Each structure stands twice: as structure tokens, then as C-alpha cells.
């Protein structure tokens, strides 16, 4: 089994950098110049590799591109992971102060630092309040004020208060146990809130502008 091909990957399920074992390969090739000599002409070659995490068997799909003349040379042209996608929050319309806190939370999670992750999620909510004009009082009071101003709705208050509470626990409760699931849920809730509060409004405004121009 020593000759089994392996790839270094970051597995989100295991939340560690580990090895993925390649279990299947498919090669697709075509002449770079259609109608050329099939013996001496260069080919575009794409190699697909299907691999599984050595820890949890999470699947990965890689794509590698080459230009080659069979038996003479092969020049790599690039590679990418097709699955899973890099889970990057697009954050369109999200203010920079909020985005920085969200990205710090993501980096903390990727490093296995779950308490700092949820603390940064709470900081992200504080930055959101600041950007929406609420800068005084406790975080809970600021969230209620934003609800009363109809800048966030009652459903979001429930999510945000949960994030506020777990962030407080992570920062101040020495007995609090913050695990990977807590951190991942916090990240997902933060992204959902930011998408609702900032990104969807921006996208809707762009949609309306595009529709108006097309008339």
C-alpha cells in the first residue's frame, strides 16, 4: 500500500490538515490542434483524481491540466480542487470592520481555536451594531434598539442573542466548554445574519437598478 497516491488537504469535517488517498483517476485528452498529427502534436490533458480523507473518508475531487507531447514532454498548466468548494463567505455589501471580524473568526476555526472563534463571532455582531448606528449600551440593548428601528427583525434577535451569550461564555466563563460544533454553528449563524442584514439589501438594490435600466 506504500505506492498509493496521496494528497495533502484541509478536511473541514476533521478540521485538520491531513492526507487524502487517491482512489480513482480519470484522464481526458484532446489534440491541441485539431487535425494535427496524433503522434507528434501536443495534447491538452486533464486529469481528474477522486480522493478520500484518511480520517473520515470525506470525498475530494481534484483537476490537473497539462500540455504534453506523448513520450516527449508534459508541462503542468494548473490545478484546482473541484470539490468541496472553498467555503468563502462572499459578503457583498458587508462593511470592512464587520468583514475583518468574520474573517478572523474563520481563521480561528481553521486553526482549531474554537473559543477565539466564537469570541470573534460576537465581535462581528458588535461591529455590525456599530455600522448600523448603535454604539452605546450593552450589546443586548443595542440589538433591541436595532430591532425597534426595524433594521433587524425579531427572528434575528434570537440568533444574535445566542451568539452574544456563547461569546460571553467563551470570554468570561472559565468552566465553559466550547467545542468544534459550537464554533461552526456560530460561524454559520453569523454568515446568515450578515447575508440578511447587508448582502441581500445590496443585491436587491442592484437587481432593481438593473431592471430599471432594462426598461
Strands (E), 84-199: none
Give the mean pLDDT of the chain. Answer: 86
Residue 31 has pLDDT above 80, yes or no: yes
- Global confidence as pTM: 0.61
Q: What whole-number distance in Å separates Cα of residue 187 and Cα of residue 95?
A: 17
Long-range contacts of 46-50 (CB under 8 A, 24+ apart): 48/82, 49/5, 49/7, 49/22, 49/24, 49/25, 50/22, 50/23, 50/24, 50/25
State the pLDDT at residue 35.
81
pLDDT tens-digit series, residues 92-141: 789 999 999 998 998 888 788 899 999 999 999 999 999 999 999 999 89
2 or 136, greater pLDDT = 136
Strand, coil or helix: 142 = helix
State the pLDDT at residue 89.
64
Residue 87 has pLDDT above 60, yes or no: no
204 or 27, greater pLDDT = 27
State the pLDDT at residue 195.
87
Q: What domains can you pick out in the chain, each with its CATH number?
A: 6-83 (no CATH), 96-214 (1.20.120.330)
Q: Which of 181, 155, 156 is nearest to 166 (CA)?
A: 181
* Residue 1 confidence class, pLDDT cut points 50, 70, 90: very low
- Per-residue pLDDT, averaged over 28-48, amounts to 88
CA angle at 127 for the pair 121 and 129, rounded to the nearest 5°: 110
- Residue 83 near residue 60, CB atoms below 8 Å: yes
- Residue 38 near residue 32, CB atoms below 8 Å: no
Q: Which of 80-94, 108-122, 198-212 has the lowest mean pLDDT?
A: 80-94
* Residue 39 confidence class, pLDDT cut points 50, 70, 90: confident
- Per-residue pLDDT, averaged over 165-189, amounts to 86
Amino acid at each position: 500500500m506504500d505506492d498509493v497516491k496521496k494528497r495533502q488537504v484541509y478536511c473541514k469535517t476533521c478540521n485538520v490538515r491531513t492526507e487524502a488517498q487517491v482512489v480513482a483517476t480519470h484522464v481526458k485528452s484532446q489534440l491541441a490542434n485539431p487535425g494535427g498529427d496524433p503522434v507528434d502534436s501536443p495534447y491538452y490533458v486533464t486529469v481528474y483524481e477522486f480522493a478520500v480523507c484518511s480520517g473520515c473518508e470525506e470525498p475530494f475531487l481534484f483537476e490537473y491540466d497539462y500540455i504534453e507531447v506523448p513520450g516527449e514532454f508534459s508541462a503542468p498548466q494548473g490545478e484546482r480542487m473541484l470539490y468541496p468548494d472553498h467555503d468563502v463567505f462572499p459578503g457583498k455589501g458587508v462593511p470592512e470592520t464587520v468583514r475583518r471580524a468574520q474573517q478572523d473568526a474563520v481563521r480561528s476555526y481553521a486553526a482549531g481555536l474554537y473559543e477565539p472563534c466564537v469570541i470573534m463571532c460576537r465581535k462581528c455582531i458588535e461591529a455590525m451594531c456599530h455600522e448600523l448606528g448603535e454604539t452605546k449600551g450593552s450589546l443586548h440593548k443595542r440589538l433591541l434598539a436595532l430591532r425597534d428601528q426595524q433594521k433587524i427583525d425579531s427572528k434575528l434577535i434570537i440568533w444574535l442573542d445566542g451568539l452574544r451569550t456563547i461569546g460571553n461564555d467563551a470570554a468570561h466563563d472559565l468552566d465553559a466548554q466550547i467545542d468544534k460544533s459550537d464554533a461552526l454553528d456560530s460561524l454559520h449563524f453569523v454568515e446568515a445574519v450578515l447575508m440578511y442584514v447587508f448582502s441581500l439589501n445590496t443585491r436587491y438594490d442592484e437587481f432593481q437598478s438593473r431592471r430599471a435600466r432594462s426598461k
